[in-house]
Structure 1
Amino acid sequence: MELLSGSLFLLLCVCGVLFLGLGWKGKGGKGRLPPGPTPLPILGNFLQLDPNNMLRSLEKLGEAYGSVFTVYLGLQRVVVLCGYKAVKEALVDQAEDFSGRGQLPSFSKDFNEHGVVFANGDRWRQLRRFSLTTLRNFGMGKRSIEERIQEEAQCLAEEFHKTQGTPFDPTFILSRAVSNIICSIVFGNRFQYDDEKFLTLNNLITERFRVGSLPPSQLYNIFPEIMEKIPGSHHAASKCSQGIIRFIEERIKMQQASLDPSDPHNYIDCFLVKMDQEKNNPASEFCMENLVMTTFNLFFAGTETIGTTLRYGFLTMLKYPQIQEKLHEEIDRVIGRDRIPATEDRNKMPYTEAVLHEIQRFSDILPMSLPHAATKDINFKGYVIPKGTYIYPLLSSVHYDSEEHSNPQEFDPGRFLDSQGCFKKVEAFMPFSAGKRICMGEGLARMELFLFFTTILQAFTLQSPVPPSQISLAPAAVGVGKVPPKYQLSASWRQH
C-alpha cells in the first residue's frame, strides 16, 4: 500500500512538473502566445480533439479562439493558422520566419530528418537547390516532360479502353500512370503497367498514404513514444515505407554499377556524381541516406498527391454528369478528337481550367498541409511564437473560406469564372503548400493534371454503376491527407 501511495505521489509530482513546464512554455517572458484551451499534463489538449476527425476539431477551436491559436498535441506546442489572411501573412509575407519543418512522427520517423520534405537548415537548402536544378535540367516545365506526360496519358487511355466499358476501380491504374512520370525523371525510364516490382511499389505508396491518414496514425503523431510500443495498424505504415526504401536502394545499386559520371541520365545519376564530387567536403549533405530519402520524397509527393486528385476528379465527374458534358463540349471545340491535348490548350479552355481548380479546392487532399516550424521567435498578430514551435496552416480553411461568392461546401467551377465565362484566379487558393516550403513539383503537377484529365475525357464518357444521387464525395480517411472513397467507373469510348 505504501509502495502504491509512493508511486502515485511520484506520478503526481511528475505530472505537476510537466504541467508547470507547459505553463512556462505558454507564458514565457518574451511575449504572449496566441490564445487557446488550457492543456492537461502529458495529454495536452488531446481530450478536446477527435482523432477520427482532427481537422474538424481544430476548425471548431478556431471558431472559439480566432484565426491564430495555440494547442498542445501531447507535449508538442502547436500554433494553428485558420483562414486565408492568417495563412498568407505567415507563410507568404513572413515566409522565412515560418520556413522550418515540424516533424510528423507517423511519416517522418521513416526519414530521420533526411531527404527534402522533413529536413531543416542547411541540409534542406542544399538538397532543395540541387533537386530544383536537376529536375529542371531533366525537363520539368519544358517541352520534353510534356511529351513524356502525353505519351503516358495515351498509355493510360489504352488501359481504360481495355476495360471495354465494364466497371473498374481506377485507383491503381491512375497511380501507375502518374508514378511513371516520376520514374522517367528519377530512374530514366518508365515501367510496363504489369511489371511486378512496379505494381508492388505503387501498392505500397497508395497503402502508405491510406494508413497514414487513419485515426491510429493521428494518435501516433500526438503520442509517438507510447504508440510506438502499442501494436496496431499504425505500424503498417512504416512497413510500407521500408518496402519503398528497399525498391529505391535496389535501383540505386543498379545505376551505380552502370554510371558514367560524364553522362548522367537521370536524377539518381546526378546525385551520385554530386556525392563523388563532394566526398571530401565535411559540410556536404550529399550522402546515400539523403539520396534514398529524397528519392522517396519525390515518389510519394509525385505519385500520391496527383493520383489522389485525379481519383477525386473522376469521382466528381460521376457525381455531376452535367459538368462532364460541358467539358466534352469544350474539349471537342478546342482540341477535337484527332490530336492529343497539349499544355498550350489550357489558355483556350477556361471551363476545364476552372473545373481542375475546383477539383483541387474541393478535394482538399492535404487539408492540414505538413507542419511548419518557427525558425526564430516570431512577432505575429500581436503575439510571440517561440522558435521551434510547430505551425499547422489549415489549408482547408483557406479552400473553404466563407468570403467566396458561392457556398464553399458545394462543388462549383463557377467560382473560378468571371461573368464573361473567362477563367479568373482566386487569391485564396493554395492546393498543396505555400511560401518557402512550396512543393518543388507544383508546375509539373498542374501539367499532369491537365493532360491526364483532358486525355481521358477526350476519349471516354465516364459513368458510375450507381445513380449520381448515391455517390458520396466524403473522404474515407482524413488525417495528414484525405483519401477518396473507393468507387468504380465504366469508361465508354466516345464515338466520332
Structure 2
Amino acid sequence: MMDFGPGWILVLCITFLILIIMWSERSKRKEMPPGPTPLPLLGNILQLNIKAMPQSLMTLAKTYGDVFTIYLGSRRVVVLHGCDAVKEALIDHAEVFSKRGRIPVAEIVFKDFGVIFSNGERWKQLRRFSLTTLRNFGMGKRSLEEHIQEEARFLRDEFNKRKGIPCDPTYFLTLAVSNMICSIVFGERFEYDDRKFLGLLALLKEVFNLLNSGTGQLVNAFPKLFQLIPGPHRKIYQNLNSLKQFVQGKVKEHQETLDQNCPRDFIDCFLIKMEEEKGNPNTEFYFDNLFVTVLNLFFAGTETTSTTLRHSLRLSLKHADVQAKVQKEIDTVVGPDRSPSIEDRSKMPYTEAVIHEIQRYADIVPMGLPHAAAETTKFRGYTIPKDTTVFVFLSSVLKDPKYFRNPSKFDPQHFLNDKGEFKKNDAFLPFSTGRRVCLGEGMARMEIFLFLTFILQNFSLESDEDPSDIDITPLPYKIRFVPR
C-alpha cells in the first residue's frame, strides 16, 4: 500500500486548488467573448508574443473574431478588433465604454490624477477645463498657426546649418513639436541647444519606447511583481519622476510670478481656478491634478506628433515618387515665397491624402489607451463584466481590409477618389473616437500638415540607404536636407 507522506498531500492540495481556480474561472468566462484558455496567475502571457503584441492580437482575431478575451496575468481584457466593433463600442455604447481602463505602470506614479487616467466627475471637469483653456490659447486658431509657422522657420534654420550633411532629425522634430505645447502650457519655448530640455525630451522618448515594448506589457500585466525586481523597467518610474519634478519646478515659478488678471498660459489658468474653488470641498482643481494634467498634455502633445513627423520624413525617403508629387503640389499652391497655411490644405488633395496615409501606415499607438466597462453589459451577444479592461485595438482599425484595399501597403490612393480628390475614410481613427478622443487632435493635425509641408517646400530629402532597405522602426536614421 502506497504511503502518502506530507509532501504528497501538499502536492495534491495545490493541484486540487489549481483545478478549483480553473473551474471557477472557466464558469465565469462562459458568457464572455471567446479567447485562448488562460493559465492560473500567468493568464495568456505564454501564448502571446509580448514583443509584438499587435501581431499576436491580429492572429487571435482570425480564430476568435472581432471581440475576444485575453488574460494578462490575472487582468481580464476584452479586445475590440476592426473598425465596426470599435465604433460600435465607443460611439453606440459610449456610456459603457468611455471609462478609462487601468494602466498599472501609470497608476504607480500618478495614481488616478490628471485628465488622461481619471474617470467620473474628475475626468469631466478636467477635460472640459483643458479643452476650453487650450482653445483660448490658440488650439485650432490662427494664432497657433502663426506660432507653428514661426517654429518651422527655426527648424529650417537648424537643418540649413547641416549644409546637406546627413543628420538624425529626431530631436529637432521633437523640440519643434514640444515647443508648441510648451508655449501653451508653460508660456515659453526652448532653444534647440538647451541641454536640460534635451535631456527631458530624451527621458520622455525613453518612457514612450519602454511603455510600448514587451517589458512595458509585462509591467502592466504583473505590476506588483515588477515593483520588487530590478531591470530596465525601473527606468520608466525614474524617468516619470524626473519629468514630474520638472513640472513641479515650472508650477512653482508660475506661483511666484502669477498675475490673476493676466494669465499667460495653461498653468496660470489652473492656478487661478484653484484659487476660485479653494472653498469648494469637492473641487478637482488642486496641485496633484495640476501636476499630472500638465504632464499629460506635455507627453501627449510631444511624442506622438513628433514620431508621426519622423515617420513622415522616413516614408518620403522611401517613396521618392510620393515626395516629388507632394513638392509639386506645394510649388503649385503655395509657391516659394510664403509659408504654407491651413487654408492651403483644402487645395492640396494629394498632400492631404499622403499625410492621412502616413498616419494610417505608421500606426503610432497600435493598442490605443485602455478603456473599461463602466457596468456589466451585453455586447454583440456576450457579457462583459463591470471594470473589465477593454483594448481598443486601433491598429486593426487602421489596417482593416474592409476599409483599405491594401492595408499592409503604403498607398496614398486609400484617401483619393478616381478624380484625384481627397476622400474621407470611416476607419481613419489614429486619434481614437468617441468621448475619449484625443484632446489635441486639432492641434496635432495642424502641426503635422504645417511642419511637413514647410520642410518639403524648403528641402529635398536624400539618404545613402537603398529605398528598399528603409523601414519605419524606432532605430536611428540619417537624412540629408538638401535646400531646394
Tell me the TM-score normalised to structure 2 length: 0.96
> Partner of 1:110: helix, strand, or coil?
helix
Q: Which residue of 1 aligns with 2:405?
A: 406
1:296-445 correspondence to structure 2 within 5 Å: 296-404=295-403, 406-445=405-444
Structure 2: how far apart are the matches of 1:6 and 1:455?
A: 74
1:280-291 correspondence to structure 2 within 5 Å: 280-291=279-290
> Partner of 2:96: helix, strand, or coil?
coil
Structure 2: how far apart are the matches of 1:487 and 1:73?
A: 34
1:239-258 correspondence to structure 2 within 5 Å: 239-258=238-257
- Structure 1 residues 26 and 335 mapped into 2: Cα distance closer, same or farther (>3 Å)? same
- Structure 1 residues 386 and 151 mapped into 2: Cα distance closer, same or farther (>3 Å)? same
Does 1:159 pair with 2:158?
A: yes
Structure 2: how far apart are the matches of 1:2 and 1:244?
A: 57
Q: Which residue of 1 aligns with 2:113?
A: 114
> Partner of 1:429: helix, strand, or coil?
coil
> Partner of 1:81: helix, strand, or coil?
strand
C-alpha displacement at 1:16, in angstroms? 4.4
C-alpha displacement at 1:72, in angstroms? 1.2
**Percent of pairs with identical residues:** 52
C-alpha displacement at 1:4, in angstroms? 5.4
Contact 1:102 1:371 in 2 (8 A): yes
Does 1:19 pair with 2:22?
A: yes
> Partner of 2:109: helix, strand, or coil?
coil
- Structure 1 residues 20 and 264 mapped into 2: Cα distance closer, same or farther (>3 Å)? farther
- Structure 1 residues 462 and 285 mapped into 2: Cα distance closer, same or farther (>3 Å)? same
C-alpha displacement at 1:6, in angstroms? 6.4
- Structure 1 residues 15 and 281 mapped into 2: Cα distance closer, same or farther (>3 Å)? farther
> Partner of 2:38: helix, strand, or coil?
coil
Q: Which residue of 2 aligns with 1:199?
A: 198
C-alpha displacement at 1:336, in angstroms? 0.4
Q: What do residues 269-327 of structure 1 show as CA deviations (whole Å, max 9, x unaligned)?
A: 01111111112212111111110100110011100000000011100011111110001
Structure 2: how far apart are the matches of 1:407 and 1:422?
A: 19
Structure 1: how far apart are the matches of 2:9 and 2:147?
A: 69
1:429-468 correspondence to structure 2 within 5 Å: 429-468=428-467
1:93-132 correspondence to structure 2 within 5 Å: 93-132=92-131
Tell me the TM-score normalised to structure 1 length: 0.94
Structure 1: how far apart are the matches of 2:418 and 2:425?
A: 14
Contact 1:372 1:391 in 2 (8 A): yes
Q: Which residue of 2 aligns with 1:492?
A: 482
Contact 1:378 1:384 in 2 (8 A): yes
Structure 2: how far apart are the matches of 1:218 and 1:83?
A: 21
Aligned residues: CA RMSD: 1.6
- Structure 1 residues 296 and 4 mapped into 2: Cα distance closer, same or farther (>3 Å)? farther
Contact 1:15 1:42 in 2 (8 A): no
Q: Which residue of 2 aligns with 1:263?
A: 262
Contact 2:403 2:425 in 1 (8 A): no
- Structure 1 residues 7 and 203 mapped into 2: Cα distance closer, same or farther (>3 Å)? farther
Q: What do residues 42-86 of structure 1 show as CA deviations (whole Å, max 9, x unaligned)?
A: 111122111111111111111101111111111111111111111
- Structure 1 residues 279 and 165 mapped into 2: Cα distance closer, same or farther (>3 Å)? same
1:71-150 correspondence to structure 2 within 5 Å: 71-150=70-149
C-alpha displacement at 1:10, in angstroms? 5.8
Q: What do residues 177-223 of structure 1 show as CA deviations (whole Å, max 9, x unaligned)?
A: 00000110001111111122211221111111112222111111111
Structure 1 portions without partners, runs of 5+:
476-483
